[in-house]
Amino acid sequence: MIGVTLSALASGGLLAATTAPSTAAPTTPTTAATPATTWTVRDPAHSALTARLALDPAGELRLAVTRDGAPVLAPGRLGLRTDRHDLTTGLRLVDREDRTVHDTYRMTTGKELRRSATARETTFAFRGADGARLGVVVRVSDDGVAYRYVLDERGPVTVTGEASAFEVPKDAKAWVQPYATSYENERTETTAGAANEAEPQECAGDTCSFGYPALFETGGTYVLLTEADVDGRYSGSHLDHKDGGSAYSVALADDAPVTSPGPLATPWRTAIVGGLDTLVGSTLVDDLAPPSRVADTSWIRPGTDDWSWLSDTSSPGDLDRQRDFVDYAAAHGLEYTLVDAGWKASWVPELVRYARARGVDVILWFDWADLRTQAQRDAWFAKIKAWGVVGVKVDYMYSDSQSTFQWYDAILRDTAERHLMIDFHGATIPRGLQRTWPQVMSVEGVRGEENGQNPARDVFLAFTRNIVGSMDYTPTWFSRPNRQNSLAHELALPVVYESGWTSLGDNPEGFAAQPVAERYLEQLPTAWDETRLVSGGPGRTAGGERQAVLARRSGDRWFVGGILAGAGATMKAPLGFLGKGTWRLETIADHEGQLRRTVRTVTAKDTLAVPAVTDGGFTALACPVTKGRADCARPVTTAPATTLATDPASVTAEAGGKASFGATFTLPEGAALRDVRLTVDRGRLPAGWTVTGSDVRAASLPAGKELTGHWTVTVARDQPGGTVEVPVVATYAHPAGGNAPRVHVEEVVRVSVPLHGTLYASDQPFLAESNGYGPVERDQSNGEAGGQDGKPLTIGGTVYAKGLGVNAPGQVRIDLQGRCTRFEAHVGVDDETSGRGSVTFTVLGDDERPLATTGVLRGGEAAVSLTADVTGVHTLTLTADDGGDGKNYDHADWGLARLTCAD
């Protein structure tokens, strides 16, 4: 039966579930050719929300929504067009199927970790004029209405567009964002009919585009429009609005068709409906998403990171400055340090070792161009996982296209398999992906703190963008020059906004100047058991200001954040959310340009009143009053300083030979360590290497006592020359206990294998590298700005399987150990420049001594052979310089660059 087929497809969603499906009441199909032309679907309790689906005489579908009998959304068009069928008109009902959907699930992030959702769902089956079939699935819960289309055709299905539209009263208040793929435009308060007057705008004639989520208020009811359950089988969408009209129509990304392998279930067109408290607490977008595809989530850990880019833009390229941020995170119990654009592969492993020994994990920023292909992701993820990096921040996607969502699918699978957490920056908004892929810690999709400050924007976001999923706003930069809000406002932002990873924007010195804030941030979770709207809204109060006060619970403690936009006012927070008993309430507010903390005892019957300065705010922390509890703060337990020494630190071994070494782990002072293990990380050794020697363990390691181990490695017989780092690792239970991960202390023994035979330069580690555009590439051309995005090295039509791809001016340095006698390569400008570009090539020995050089070589010319005598050279430098006309198109290839070394 068509109803059964479509219903099963609808419940499956766009992403195949890997866990048990939602439970549902028995279905109740109707007979074919039902004469009714209007059908209703009510929320499970039949208490407030009703969706009315109507079919007019022309066979066109419209959906309306009422709340408590009052209209919220007027009848809006539904329908779908494919390359073969027009399913927007001439429709007739042939079947319907009803069920109650109940779902319980657990999140790793979000406003509520344990979820329970119940909805009433009806699948309507229609036939078009040409006999084609269309399913419309309408789901109503106590916090909103959603619908999607399903097509049970086999084989590929190409959707050319939707007739979907939400009809909003033209005089409804509106808080909308002109559409941009970055989602970084400002939001504007306007009306639904006049929204096109907002600037800047993405408009074509009298039609303008708006991004999700879009908020409207009519008759005291709020409606937040968005979409849910989007993946690479479809594209994202946005809303188009004709000037002065009431319809907000769904437009596919880039107005481009999408092709699904079929059968097809489209994303959910979603309206979160109710009072502001309902919207803030809504989990509807996640409820509509497919279940988690990650069975074991024990490696996923929300937390706070100190992030240097905002306050110290150049610091991600400075190892010593990054150590300062690691030290700050360690001292204040922050879980992570995020190293943004500018980091160097040459020192990141050292930084990771430094951080992990202090109980801090490292997150690395990536340009998505470096992770665009499967080969790029495989190479980078294997490398950074071996370094000990636990997660990535990926930037600059800026697209809602189907191909970009297919890339999201791929990187989400890859990070889940590698046990790497991920934050999407420069990204689209979340559409439920944190339920399906719980390693997603946050998503930008917002005009955040890095784009300047706007207190009104801050309030708007509490009732729009942050409702639909974690928001990477990068808040809390106290020392910002010309700051546009108060200290307390800045401190409140990471409470008001939910983000699985919260990236704090100030530097260690800026935080140290605000000790009251430091103490609060040390306590702040980033995932919550419960979230409540306490007071406020996006509109102006009678006093002319805007306010938002949210309370979030973690365990038995409530964290409260309040922000204000406008003139100073008293911010009021009814404390009914606290529940029974007496509570200790610690409040932080602005006082004479500083932060001041006050403490009082309250009950749920009380109302907190905080005088706020212009564009100010406050934070609070509440905990039950119990015997022996002095305050609400919990101790910050940090990893102690330890020492791990290897003996020797470096050793030489021939291919097939052996090298022995020892290691000693010591706690100089402090309480004894528990469950200590000293070992060699065998999983990170090259193929063919073996280790003998046992792990050393201690149930307890008191201060001053040494834990010592001895091992011997056997080098693989086919191991090429060079240096291999053998990781020696000591781990122990974190003194904080609970779910804190084990502390990882690591040093490396450098095993030097003498260079021998014929070697390719692209297989050797670089002592240093620089490049005029993007990274130096191994065994491929320079390509574009991303890593590993080049093509086969090709000069004058000849392809070289091995070599280096450089963009002049570019340079690499290689350690020859004084064991090689000859360097040779075929050099020239890669054919990918289409005959453009000009380069000179130079080979340098120790002390920058020239050994060989070329004249100016130009694009389209044949390769030139370049050879050099490198006898006795320890540091070989290969340099490509521009030919005097700038670096554009100067893609310099070192084809078959190889070395002849001692046997």
Catalytic annotation, residues: 395, 450
Backbone angles phi, psi at 653, to 5 degrees: -145, 135
Burial of 817 (0-12, 13-18, 19+ CB in 10 A): buried
Residues 6+ apart with CB under 8 A from 634: 523
Cβ(788)–Cβ(373) under 8 Å? Answer: yes
Element (H, E) at 596: strand 594-602
670: left (phi over 0), alpha (psi -120 to 50) or beta: left
Which residue from 263, 256, 261 is spatially nearest to 237, judged by alpha carbons?
A: 256
Dihedral of CA atoms 370, 372, 373, 378 in degrees, nearest 10, equals 50
Distance from the Cα of residue 31 to its chain's centroid: 47
Q: Rounded to the nearest 5°, which phi and psi values hold at 378?
A: -60, -45
Whole-angstrom distance, CA of residue 192 vs CA of residue 370? 41
Q: What is the CA radius of gyration of the chain?
A: 31
What is the identity of the amino acid at 261?
Answer: P
The C-alpha atoms of residue 300 and residue 108 are separated, in whole angstroms, by 7
* Per-residue burial over 25-58, b = 16 or more CB atoms within 10 Å of its CB, e = otherwise: eeeebbeeeeeeeebebbbbeeebbbbbbbbeee
Could you tell me if 334 and 307 are in contact, meaning their C-beta atoms sit under 8 angstroms apart?
Answer: no
Q: How many residues in total does the chain contain? A: 903
Residue the block writes with tokens 């955040």: 448
Closest CA to 234 of 424, 423, 82, 79: 82
Q: Is the peptide bond before 494 cis (omega within 30 degrees of 0)?
A: no
Helices (H) and strands (E) in the chain, counts: 12, 62
Question: Do 755 and 721 meet the contact criterion of CB atoms below 8 Å apart?
Answer: yes
- Rounded to whole angstroms, the Cα distance separating 829 from 894 reads 9
